[in-house]
Amino acid sequence: MNRAPLIFLGIFFALAFSWTGIILTNHLSYAKLQPVFDETEGKAFPQKLPGNAERGKEVYRDLGCVYCHSQQVRQPGYGTDIDRGWGERGSVARDYIHEKRVYLGTMRTGPDLRNVGARFVGDAGRDWHLQHLYDPQITSKGSIMPPFRFLFEPRVIVGEPSPRAVQTKLPAQYQPPAGHEIVLTQRGEDLISYLLALKDPALYPEEAARVYVPKADPAEKKTEPAQAEAAK
Amino acid sequence: MSSDKSKLPPHVPAEQHQRAEQAGANDESIQKVHAILLREKSEPSEGFTPMPLFLLGFISAMIFVCSVYVVHYRGDFDPLVYDERFDAAAAKAAASGPKVLTPEQILASGKRLYQTCAACHQATGLGVAGVYPPLAASEWVTGSEERLIRVLLHGLNGPIQVKGNTYNGAMPAFGKIPGGGYNWSDEKIAHVLSYIRHDWGNNAEFITKDKVTEVLKAEAARAKPWTQDELAPFAQ
Amino acid sequence: MASSLTASLNPASSPDLAKRAELSAIDASTRAPALYFFGSSVLWLLVGTLFALIASYKLHTPEFLGDVEWLTFGRARTLHLNAVIYGWASNASFAVALWLMARLARAELRHVGLLFIAAAFWNLGVTVGMVGIAIGDSTSIEWLEFPTYATPILFVAYALVGAWAMITFRFGRAKHIYVSQWYLLAALFWFPWLYSVAQIMLLFEPTRGTVQGLVNWWFAHNVLGLWFTPIGLAAIYYFLPKVLGKPIHSYYLSVLGFWSLAIFYNWAGVHHLIGGPVPVWVQTAGIAASFMMVVPVIVTGLNQHLTLVGAAAALKYSPTLRFIVFGGVNYTLTSIAGSLMAMRSWAEITHFTHYTVAHAHHGMYAFFTMVMFGSVYYILPRILLKEWPSAKLISLHFWATAGGITLYVVGLSIGGIAQGLAMNTLPAGADGQPGAPVAFMEVVADMIKYLEIRTIAGVIISIGHIAFAVNFTWMLVQPRKTGATEPTLFRNAPDLEAAR
């Protein structure tokens, strides 16, 4: 019995040690991570999500998208994230400072989505997401992503067709019977807004100063001064 | 249950009569309970074999190796460092020189950027018949810089002729133009155009960032995509 | 206060007999709560298995139940995970912890009615949480998905269970604190801290940016390492020497194993974020801690192996021993695999792939769940005072689950490595330079066969679970036999009193 207090103290300090070291230290140092003002763009980055994209993030949460899709681009040379066009640089902590929930994800059953808003842009991007969510087989044959048809509402056209009707974007075999339309629900609209808003800005100066630079190998340099100048 | 009392031996004290009664025990159930319990081995205990010596050596080696690992890959304990190979001294030395990209680096950058274009123009550069023109052996790609840069900056609409075939897709605007969706920097435009001019058998001159900036400035007022006819003056 | 049963013995009987009677009384005091926790755990096991099959099937056949919103993969998978972690595994943990603590402290559980309420609250909390996930209120934070209206219910339940374990320990008659008790005390202390910190720093007062990732993975990895692993080890440390009738090989190895686990395990969780947007120094710390985990794992494995050596023939007869040893061996294997996976070069390949899923099931199922099965096979006869009705069902249970999980882990690991290599390395290009990465859809297509193998493995495991549930229910409803009984073994043992 007299060993019990000792065991208890040891158990307590073991957990306290890791909590302090892993979480508290970073919780404190992250307070210094503030948005950075970019002169050329005239805005501070990272930016907050616009309103309906923020609502769309709730849809992302409730449907569990994070269990197949990650949202973190790994550093160049580690994995192939950047070679795949999933981002131009590795993600850094500052990218996430505005996020109330951070869905880094741990599975890539589907591609990383951190910069999906840079790959599918504007109206063409919206149409792609519409088709992909209605039935992933439309845009990505052989995909194992489930269909999200419940984000769409098939209904009878009453009076004027809805401005949010989307069946024109869907291939022939998905067309509803005559007099019917397929309308994107607000949830679907919000989710697509969220996906279109996901993109990270260029690397912030403080982080850029800490990028790993391999030592230059003199034998590797192929000097073409004219081309090097022209390439600037 | 008073009949049970009579079963207890006379020398058992009175209070134990009580407890035996409360247990509701009769000989049979005690026997049964004991059977499952009786066949159990005794409660576990620990032997006191001393620790094998090799284990101490192994643990010391592990501690040593892991300490070296932590020191080597600590990234200076800097919360803004994300690469374990980062070395503050080397980074300072490299930052002092001018940043000039080699042609290989430009083509590699362009190739990565091309992933976005491949959605329509395909990884093979062959496009989709009738919709997206090919880039391989295309006169639009290897020909005039002025026209090519404009296409990527502002986009392209309406039917066009490439290698004698007609294509009618909608190319979005990629440059930093008013209302633009992609807002690619001039450098990115230069890189990806340089890349498509060097793949699939194409071989034309690199396009420079300065040229892109010059074109963008010249067309500063333009916000809508080009048509083939509008680009005709730039085609040579 | 001597138990009435002990007191009812002939005063001339041996001290050994008195001890047995004392244990019998202690077992009797644990009967109601242990039965309720075990019964709940078996029900949740069946629920979790059903969702597992649905989720697994959907991954290679996405149209399956594709229009049922509450079963969309993101929710079905989450329902599976929470049913097995908080329904099956935690309920079983409570039962085993209480029974072991009572026996080892040699103290009867008192006022067990309150433990009954605790069990009811726990199950209520899990049910509310599961319904919450199904209707779309999941937090989408891994291992912490229950909505915040469910978790306070769990907290009340836990407080009662934790307090009861402490009281039992405090008022026990045992002088020496046996190794299993260290692990149990530690687990019961650590779990509420982990859960509360995670709830506060992720849901109630979310911390900034990717510190959330650090909290999430400190929490989730430690639920495995500081809640389930110690309970599993406590069970192995009790049942292995108990069934064999041999002492644990070395007290010194037990001490070293326990403290090295306590120090290193809880730093290892950061290995879920290797290459991620967190400072590299904390990633390095997590990797180093993951490497150091080979120390407690090898020490504990050595301790258990050297205890078993020479007496392994009992594996032919004893269901308890077979499940426990299967679990113990896989504890060693999965932990060594985990240490290797933390290497940056390995993590680069297998991170984000199905390999991670295989590894998670290796730990939670091949180690922890199998140890829990072994524990149930030992404990239930002692609290019900009945024997297991069918040795055949036990055998089916063992072979189906052992075979199924082996197929699962091996099959999905191979698939995950193939996926990782294709996804995370660049093939050699024509000119000797690295070529373009393998197209994503090609990787997906290659994985289908491994996902199908996983479903097949899942079906085999489910058969084992059904056999277990049938045997369990049968045992509950069968009448208690009068007279001496024999243990239910795989085959007849040469000397019966040495069995079980």
Chain C 448-487, residues with CB within 8 Å of chain A CB atoms: 448, 451
pLDDT > 90: percent of chain B:
35
In angstroms, the CA B103 to CA B120 distance is 26
SS (H, E, C) A154-209: EEECCCCCCCCECHHHCCHHHCCCCCEEEEECHHHHHHHHHHHHCCCCCCCHHHHC
Nearest to C218 among A18, A79, A145 (CB): A18
Copy the structure tokens of residue C404: 């199924």
The average pLDDT across A4-20 equals 93
The average pLDDT across A92-114 equals 96
**How many alpha carbons fall within 13 Å on the CB side of residue A51?**
1
Which candidate, A148, A123, A126, places its Cα nearest to that of A137?
Answer: A148
Residue A122 zone, left/alpha/beta (φ > 0; ψ -120 to 50; rest): left
Number of other residues whose CB lies within 10 A of the CB of residue A197: 18
Longest CA–CA separation in chain A, Å:
83
Nearest to A207 among B80, B181, B210 (CB): B80
Q: Which domain holds residue A165?
A: 19-209
pLDDT for residue B95 is more than 70: no
Q: Are the C-beta atoms of C220 and C142 separated by less than 8 Å? A: yes
Which pLDDT belongs to residue C320? 95
pLDDT for residue B153 is more than 50: yes
- Check residues B15 and C207 and name the one with the higher pLDDT: C207
Chain A 15-54, residues with CB within 8 Å of chain C CB atoms: 15, 17-19, 21-23, 25-27, 29-31, 33
- Check residues A101 and C495 and name the one with the higher pLDDT: A101
Residues 6+ apart with CB under 8 A from C68: none
Which candidate, A24, C189, C242, C8, places its Cα nearest to that of B31?
Answer: C8
- Check residues C129 and B75 and name the one with the higher pLDDT: C129
Structural domain spans, chain B: 54-96, 103-234
Task: Tell the burial category of C465 from Cβ atoms under 10 Å away from its Cβ (0-12, 13-18, 19+).
Answer: buried
DSSP string, A40-57: TTTEEESPPPPHHHHHHH
In order of A11, C147, C155, C397, the CA distances from C158 in angstroms are 19, 17, 5, 30
CB contact under 8 A, A212 and B172: no
Which candidate, C312, C189, B67, places its Cα nearest to that of A11?
Answer: C189
Number of compact structural domains in chain A: 1
In angstroms, the CA A157 to CA A159 distance is 6
In order of C26, C144, C192, the CA distances from A208 in angstroms are 65, 35, 41
With respect to residue A8, please indicate whether it lies within any of the assigned structural domains.
Answer: no
CB contact under 8 A, A7 and C193: no
In this prediction, residue B179 has a pLDDT band, given cuts at 50, 70 and 90, of confident
Which residue from A minimizes the CA distance to B191?
A: A231
pTM over 0.95: no
Which pLDDT belongs to residue A126? 95
With respect to residue A124, please indicate whether it lies within any of the assigned structural domains.
Answer: yes
Task: Tell the burial category of B203 from Cβ atoms under 10 Å away from its Cβ (0-12, 13-18, 19+).
Answer: exposed
With respect to residue A129, please indicate whether it lies within any of the assigned structural domains.
Answer: yes
- What 3-state DSSP class applies to B166? strand
Which pLDDT belongs to residue A219? 47
In order of A68, A132, A187, B119, the CA distances from A151 in angstroms are 18, 12, 6, 25
CB contact under 8 A, C485 and B36: yes
Residues 6+ apart with CB under 8 A from C315: C321, C322, C325
pLDDT for residue B24 is more than 50: no
In this prediction, residue A217 has a pLDDT band, given cuts at 50, 70 and 90, of low
Which pLDDT belongs to residue C331? 97
pLDDT for residue A41 is more than 80: no
- Identity (one letter) of the amino acid at C449? K
With respect to residue A95, please indicate whether it lies within any of the assigned structural domains.
Answer: yes
What does the pLDDT look like over A125-182, one tens digit per residue? 999 999 999 999 999 999 999 999 999 999 999 999 888 899 999 999 999 999 999 9
Chain A 213-232, residues with CB within 8 Å of chain C CB atoms: none
In angstroms, the CA C424 to CA C403 distance is 31
- Check residues C456 and B164 and name the one with the higher pLDDT: C456
pLDDT for residue B29 is more than 50: no
Task: Tell the burial category of A78 from Cβ atoms under 10 Å away from its Cβ (0-12, 13-18, 19+).
Answer: buried
Which fold does the domain B103-234 belong to in CATH? Cytochrome Bc1 Complex; Chain D, domain 2 (1.10.760)
pLDDT > 70: percent of chain B:
82
CB contact under 8 A, C138 and A61: yes
> C112-134 and C151-170 are packed helices; what angle lies between their axes, rounded to 10 degrees?
150
* C79 touching chain A per CB within 8 A: no
Alpha-helical regions (H) of chain B: 2-5, 14-22, 27-38, 53-72, 88-96, 103-121, 139-142, 145-154, 186-196, 209-218, 228-231
With respect to residue A190, please indicate whether it lies within any of the assigned structural domains.
Answer: yes
Q: Find the CATH number of the domain harbouring A64.
A: 1.10.760.10
With respect to residue A220, please indicate whether it lies within any of the assigned structural domains.
Answer: no
Give mean pLDDT in consecutive 10-residue pieces for chain C, a chain of 500 residues: 57 70 89 95 98 97 95 97 98 96 90 89 97 97 96 93 84 86 94 95 95 97 97 97 92 95 95 96 96 96 92 90 96 96 95 97 98 97 92 96 98 97 90 86 96 98 98 93 78 56
- Check residues A13 and C171 and name the one with the higher pLDDT: A13
Phi, psi of A38 (to 5 degrees): -105, 120
pLDDT > 70: percent of chain A:
91
- Answer whether the bond into residue C62 is a cis peptide, omega within 30°: no
CB contact under 8 A, C284 and B43: no
- Mean pLDDT, chain A, as a whole number? 89
Q: List the end-to-end C-alpha distance of chain C, in Å, as a whole number.
A: 30
Which pLDDT belongs to residue C400? 98
